[in-house]
Chain A
Amino acid sequence: MMRYHRQRNAVIICCLLVTSLGMVSGQGSPRFQMSEPQVRLDSFFFFNSAAIALAMDFPGATVRYSLENEEVTAQSDEYVSPIQLTHSDTLVARAFHPDLTPSSPLRVSAYKIHPTTQVATVRTFPSPSSQYAGAGVSVLTDHQKGELNFASDTEQWLGWEVDTLRLSLAWAKPTGIRAISCSFLQNHGAWIFPPQRIVVRHHGESVGEATIEVPKQEAPTAFRLVHIKIDEKVYANLEVELLSVRLPSWHQGAGRSAWIFMDELLTFETQN
């Protein structure tokens, strides 16, 4: 619970300082900021609908939200029950309290995917670490996301501690492919970063590439979805090469290879 102790001292008016403690301070007691609401998304990828639940269990706090990535203000809708999405969307939410600074906005996206997307057979080189082998490599194409807290989800996440990871994709019959999406975990405390570079090759020739900016120190634990457009052709197989990040100087494991955690790989067919 929270309350304020009263002190009958002189009021001091001064310019405000925003500090790295998440508080606004003048001279005297600081004014603290609410944390972002908690979010639970039942399905990051969905065929028909997805539900988003929000929470902030703190006396006097309310959670407000908007859809379509619109900013949230004190006049936005108040959250009362889970929100159903029927198309790809980005929800924004903030926590408010009359005596505290509102939280930063929380953004969560869910993606509607076409149910006829062809599923490739995936092999990985090397195999995932024995500690993080999930329910097998097939989890990469089961359209199920892992939990943000990977330690509580031993099924969906595959983890590698390597410099280079290679994925081999093969289709039962040659298929027109226009793009690939890879879903990664970003969790600095667990030394997990998305790869810094992804190259998609066909018979050794690059057909698509992506460079991913190394997350900044303040970046939250998050899903990172990387979309790679590739030369639109009919393919029977592709190879995806992922280069891991060297942990940056601010990190406690500076200089070592980061872990790559991956839970989904989507392939998108050529649209006729």
Chain B
Amino acid sequence: MLTISWPEMNRRDFLDKGLKALLAIGVLDINQRDELVIGHGDFRYTIDVNWGALNPEFFPVQDCHEMVFDRLGRLILLTNHTRNNVLIYDRSGKLLDHWGTTYPGAHGLTLKDEGGEEFLYLTDTVRHEVIKTTLDGREVMTLPYPRAMEAYSSANTYLPTETAIADNGDIYVADGYGMQYILQYNSRGELLRYFGGRGEGDGQFLNAHGICIDNRSGREELLITARQMNALKRFSMDGKHQQTIPLPGCYICRPVVHTDSVYLATIWSGNGSARTGFLSILDRSNHLVSAPGGATPRYEEGSLRKMYQAIQVFQHPHDVCVDADENLYVAQWNAGGTYPLKLNRV
């Protein structure tokens, strides 16, 4: 490796005059220090691909599925690698802690402050369960598959992908890889109701992958992704369909509400091919205003034009986490065992 510094030479001149010969022979290239900025409008970011990198011999990941921040500002990452299902970082990307060896299908991760103590809710698509733990990994409750429901003939038909926890403690489970129901439990784990189910109706889902509580209107509502339908659906807390927000070309994983915006890792785009993901950011009116890594969002006669990837920044973004400075952390599914990357807001 050859390092050259040129404190007094203009970089472009240097490129133009000094390196053309090297470039011409095709064995060396200049890696520009200029940083790419992606996104649109007020939501633009530089990219730190190395933010969460660790030594995979000691702390391997398989799919990095979801992330949450705790109140100490620690970023908690869930992976389905059973050497360490949970990795806990500080905001600089330093590993602080790790735990978990019994969640082979670790997928959904939600954090809830319950009377001053924070708890995690994990979904596991291999164990066919939802597991509630303390932040250091002690299991305090398990929700098995809903055998009382006629729709579920066996545990194998229940593949929960995400949870959302209401302020009253009710637990909403999205069976996004299973029968497409949203199951509402009380805080003791008793099934109260279910809604949704597989189908193309307003209140139904194809791949009800992610769910969250949306407080932006001043009251609690549910936002649920219908990933294969390229749509975000809004429901009342008792399961009544309120609105469908079409996002053509956007295969959205889970909604993350932060201040007035909704952030959605978009695992595929366009025709749904592999490695076509980007991020989707909606404003208070649920309009797509920025698509880091994607084409320019454009509305024509009130409808979003079909979205697609423009730059290959991401492989399969599966979740996005927002810090207090509105930087983004992106976990990826099926990305060669790579760690979360960070987008710094500019």
Residue of B1, B40, B346 near A12 (CB, 8 A) is: B1
Question: Is the Cβ of B310 less than 8 Å from the Cβ of A34?
Answer: yes
> Nearest Cβ distance between residue B282 and chain A, in whole angstroms?
18
Residue of B4, B46, B199, B313 near A5 (CB, 8 A) is: B46
Instruction: Identify 8 new A-B residue pairs, CB closer than 8 A, beyond the known A4-B35, A22-B312.
Output: A7-B33, A10-B3, A12-B1, A20-B338, A26-B29, A32-B36, A35-B309, A189-B272
Contacts of B338 in A (CB 8 A): 20-21
Question: Is the Cβ of B315 less than 8 Å from the Cβ of A21?
Answer: yes
Residue of A61, A148, A189, A222 near B267 (CB, 8 A) is: A189
> Nearest Cβ distance between residue B173 and chain A, in whole angstroms?
18
Most A CB contacts (10 A, CB to CB) among B274, B296, B313 go to B274
Interface residues in A179-205 by Cβ distance below 8 A to B read 187-190
Question: Is the Cβ of B31 less than 8 Å from the Cβ of A4?
Answer: no
Question: Is the Cβ of A190 less than 8 Å from the Cβ of B309?
Answer: no
Contacts of A173 in B (CB 8 A): none
Contacts of B296 in A (CB 8 A): 1, 57-59
Question: Is the Cβ of B273 less than 8 Å from the Cβ of A38?
Answer: no
Seen from chain A, the residues whose Cβ lies within 8 Å of a Cβ on chain B are: 1-16, 20-35, 38, 56-59, 61, 99-100, 131, 148-149, 151-152, 154, 187-190, 217-222, 250, 252-253
User: Whose C-beta in chain B lies nearest to the C-beta of A34?
Assistant: B311
Residue of A2, A22, A56, A131 near B37 (CB, 8 A) is: A2
> Nearest Cβ distance between residue A53 and chain B, in whole angstroms?
12
Q: Which 8 A-B pairs rank lowest in CB-CB distance, beginning with the nearest?
A: A22-B312, A26-B31, A148-B271, A220-B273, A4-B34, A10-B5, A221-B273, A58-B310
Interface residues in B244-292 by Cβ distance below 8 A to A read 248-249, 251, 267-268, 270-276
Question: Is the Cβ of A22 less than 8 Å from the Cβ of B298?
Answer: no
Residue-wise interface mask of B (13-34) relative to A, using a CB-CB cutoff of 8 A (1 in contact, 0 not): 0100001001000011111111
Contacts of B251 in A (CB 8 A): 189
Contacts of A187 in B (CB 8 A): 271-272
Contacts of B72 in A (CB 8 A): none
Question: Is the Cβ of B49 less than 8 Å from the Cβ of A7?
Answer: no
Seen from chain B, the residues whose Cβ lies within 8 Å of a Cβ on chain A are: 1-6, 11, 14, 19, 22, 27-40, 44, 46-47, 49, 177, 198-200, 206, 228-230, 248-249, 251, 267-268, 270-276, 295-296, 298, 308-315, 334-336, 338, 346
Question: Is the Cβ of A12 less than 8 Å from the Cβ of B311?
Answer: no
- A sample of 13 cross-chain residue pairs with beta-carbon separation below 8 angstroms, ordered by A number, consists of A5-B35, A6-B34, A7-B35, A10-B6, A11-B30, A13-B30, A100-B311, A148-B271, A148-B272, A149-B230, A189-B251, A217-B334, A250-B334
Alpha-carbon distance between A39 and B8 when the two chains are bound, in angstroms: 47
Question: Is the Cβ of A188 less than 8 Å from the Cβ of B33?
Answer: no
Most B CB contacts (10 A, CB to CB) among A189, A190, A222, A253 go to A189
Residue of A11, A27, A58 near B311 (CB, 8 A) is: A58
Question: Is the Cβ of B40 less than 8 Å from the Cβ of A1?
Answer: yes
Question: Is the Cβ of A29 less than 8 Å from the Cβ of B313?
Answer: no
Question: Is the Cβ of B35 less than 8 Å from the Cβ of A14?
Answer: no
Question: Is the Cβ of B271 less than 8 Å from the Cβ of A149?
Answer: yes
Question: Is the Cβ of A131 less than 8 Å from the Cβ of B198?
Answer: yes
Contacts of A24 in B (CB 8 A): 29
Most A CB contacts (10 A, CB to CB) among B39, B206, B313 go to B313
> Nearest Cβ distance between residue B180 and chain A, in whole angstroms?
11
Contacts of A6 in B (CB 8 A): 34
Question: Is the Cβ of A31 less than 8 Å from the Cβ of B31?
Answer: yes
Contacts of A1 in B (CB 8 A): 39-40, 44, 296
Alpha-carbon distance between A266 and B236 when the two chains are bound, in angstroms: 48
Alpha-carbon distance between A30 and B46 when the two chains are bound, in angstroms: 11
Alpha-carbon distance between A29 and B272 when the two chains are bound, in angstroms: 29
Question: Is the Cβ of B295 less than 8 Å from the Cβ of A57?
Answer: yes
Alpha-carbon distance between A48 and B92 when the two chains are bound, in angstroms: 61
Question: Is the Cβ of B5 less than 8 Å from the Cβ of A29?
Answer: no
Question: Is the Cβ of A10 less than 8 Å from the Cβ of B4?
Answer: yes
Question: Is the Cβ of B3 less than 8 Å from the Cβ of A29?
Answer: no
Residue of B44, B206, B248, B335 near A20 (CB, 8 A) is: B335
Given contacts A9-B33, A13-B3, contact A58 B198 (CB under 8 A): no
